[in-house]
Chains A and B, each alone.
Chain A
Amino acid sequence: MHPMLASLRGLISYSALASLVGALLACLLWLTGAGSLPAATLFALPFSLCFGLVVLSAYHVCRSLPFAGHAAFNAVAVRGGACLVAAVLGLLLGLGWNEASQAMMHSGPALELAPSWRVALALASGTAYLLSILAHEMHAAALAAREATDRAQQARLLARDTELQLLRTQIDPHFLFNSLNAISALTRLDLPAAQAMIVDLAEFFRHTSLVATQAAIPLADELALCTHYLRIEQHRFGPKLQVDMQIADAARPAMVPPLCLQPLLENALKHGIRQLDDGGTLQLEALLRDGWLHLAVRNPVDATATSALPGNGQGLRNLRERLASLYGNRARLAWQQHDGHFTVELALPFEEATRS
């Protein structure tokens, strides 16, 4: 069944189109003196409606014989043959119907189908069929192209999901071993501080592996994770790292993607504060406005640094894509370097946890 004829709307469109072609054919027949207008209409309309079905049948020919490399010649030959058959069919159908209608309408004059008209009818039938084949092929190609892009998109999302899983469960060796070294130092210099740092390290890794399987977590949890992380870094870097967190109470229950903030803090330290002789202040801000959650991470940067983007910006781009796949165009991620500071801003629709 041709997809066009499968729905009521399709049927109506088909009838309208076929009728239009029939009307045009009728006019042509009448103007060229093949017969009176009523006779021409009586011939052309039913003919057009019937032959239209033949034209639509090109769909089945195209579908059954796709162009596939070595079979291409076959495909072309069959389509060419089908056009010829359609041409002959059109001619026979036209002549046959003309005779039949003549027999039915005893009173009405028949159409004079001169040889030139017969040729024209055959040619038109064949051409109509050819155009139908082309139209069906183009449609099939467009569908295939869309499918291909969809598949590519799916593959990308899947890859990113895997990367995300890895990100969540991977332990950065630099971070781990430097932290353990710091703890080792503290065991000889300041035992209570060593114990505090051990707990912070354990809690940080516990949190990151817990959120690994969740699609969204409350901002409060992400902030807890970040706080453990920053306390560890403050042990390592001492007074060079100052932290300033401004979190609106109303923002704490907002659902966010796990590890949307912590990697931003890592960037801020690795590419910003760590490069400065005197260190600096890392600012973290969260607030609600008009149903949107606004998050911002700000850090000073070395003004003479050649690149504005931390580590060529891949992490930021990945985060942006992650947000796009989760929120479509309702999420916004922007970053800029201005006046010796680097700022990353995130805006998400405010959503609270749904009660289970």
Chain B
Amino acid sequence: MSTTLTALIADDEPLARALLRDYLRSHPDIAIVGEADNGLQAVKEIGRLNPDLVFLDIQMPKLSGLEVLEATQRRSGVIFTTAFDAHALKAFDLHAVDYLLKPFSPTRFDEALRKARALCGEAQPSVDALLADNSQRLSRVLIREREQVHVLPVDTIDYVEAQDDYIRIHAGQRAHLKTQRLSDLEARLDPASFVRVHRSYLINLACLVGLERNGSDGYVACLRNGQRIPVSRSGYERLRQVM
């Protein structure tokens, strides 16, 4: 019945990783195949090793535990660990996602492992819900480009354009593609800074330098970098409310 499960440990503190290794010694059916000490490395290792289980610290340098999940699209076989994060943990409790509070006892650890084993392989909708939780405002956007993960601070975004199933994020000289709906991104951004001016366009208000009439019932938003973005009537109303 018990096949060997592969596991990856992601935590930036060597002693925290050592403790997990030590706890796992009493579970011979779990083989540790890799370790990561920051979020970016975790993304790389998860992609490379595709482990059955990931022990994921919520606070790590480079990318947080949740950002690692977003970047890898992984939804199953995750055990979260954290020392303290009252703010984020509320969302975890809300969506019934299990986590280990450091320092945790071997008993507590075994219990979390048991739960994770039972769910192994199945996607956890609760994790999906956690990641989609709109209560946390985004301060940066993650973009996966082949093996690379780009971290884009939200205030560097000029505007976002929707194209079929994905969006094109324009920041400075570059444009990034991301598989996400424009309305999803819109919900995670601060409405006082980002306005949906059109069904297919979202702009950063800081980049707006002018608004012109265009024809009988349309408007055009002029951006700092010279771009002209169409503005629908409802988009115009939204702009007026914010400004």
Instruction: Name A's B-contacting residues (CB within 8 A).
Output: 173-174, 176-178, 180-186, 188-189, 235-238, 274-275, 277, 306
Contacts and interface: CB of A to CB of B under 8 A. Distances in A.
The interface residues of chain A, by DSSP majority, are classed as helix
B19 A181 contact: yes
A177 B102 contact: yes
A188 B19 contact: yes
Contacts of A236: 13, 15
B218 interface: no
Nearest to A237: B13
Interface string B1-42: 000000000001111101100100000000000000010000
A182 to B, nearest CB: 4
B41 to A, nearest CB: 8
B22 A188 contact: yes
**How many B residues touch the partner, as a band?**
10 to 19
Contact of A237 (B14, B83, B84, B153): B14
A185 B84 contact: no
Given A174-B59, A178-B83, A180-B102, A277 B38 contact: yes
B17 to A, nearest CB: 9
B144 to A, nearest CB: 19
Contacts, number: 56
A177 B81 CA distance: 12
Interface of B: 12-16, 18-19, 22, 38, 59, 61-62, 83-84, 101-103, 153
A200 to B, nearest CB: 14
Contacts of B13: 178, 181-182, 236-237
Nearest to A270: B61
B153 A306 contact: yes
B19 to A, nearest CB: 4
A191 to B, nearest CB: 13
Contacts of B22: 185, 188-189
A306 B153 CA distance: 9
Nearest to A184: B103
Contacts of A306: 153
Nearest to A306: B153
Given A237-B13, A274-B12, A274-B61, A185 B19 contact: yes
Nearest to A189: B18
B61 A184 contact: no
A173 B59 CA distance: 13
Contacts of B19: 181, 184-185, 188
Contacts of B84: 173-174, 176-177
Contact of B61 (A183, A238, A275): A275
10 closest Cβ pairs, A-B complex: A185-B19, A177-B83, A181-B102, A173-B84, A181-B103, A185-B15, A182-B15, A184-B103, A178-B83, A238-B14
Nearest to A275: B61
Contacts of A185: 15-16, 18-19, 22
Contacts of B62: 275
A338 to B, nearest CB: 22
Contacts of B61: 274-275
A174 B102 CA distance: 10
Contacts of B16: 178, 181-182, 185
Contacts of A277: 38
Contacts of A237: 12-14
A155 B62 CA distance: 40
B14 A177 contact: no
Nearest to A277: B38
Contacts of A182: 13, 15-16
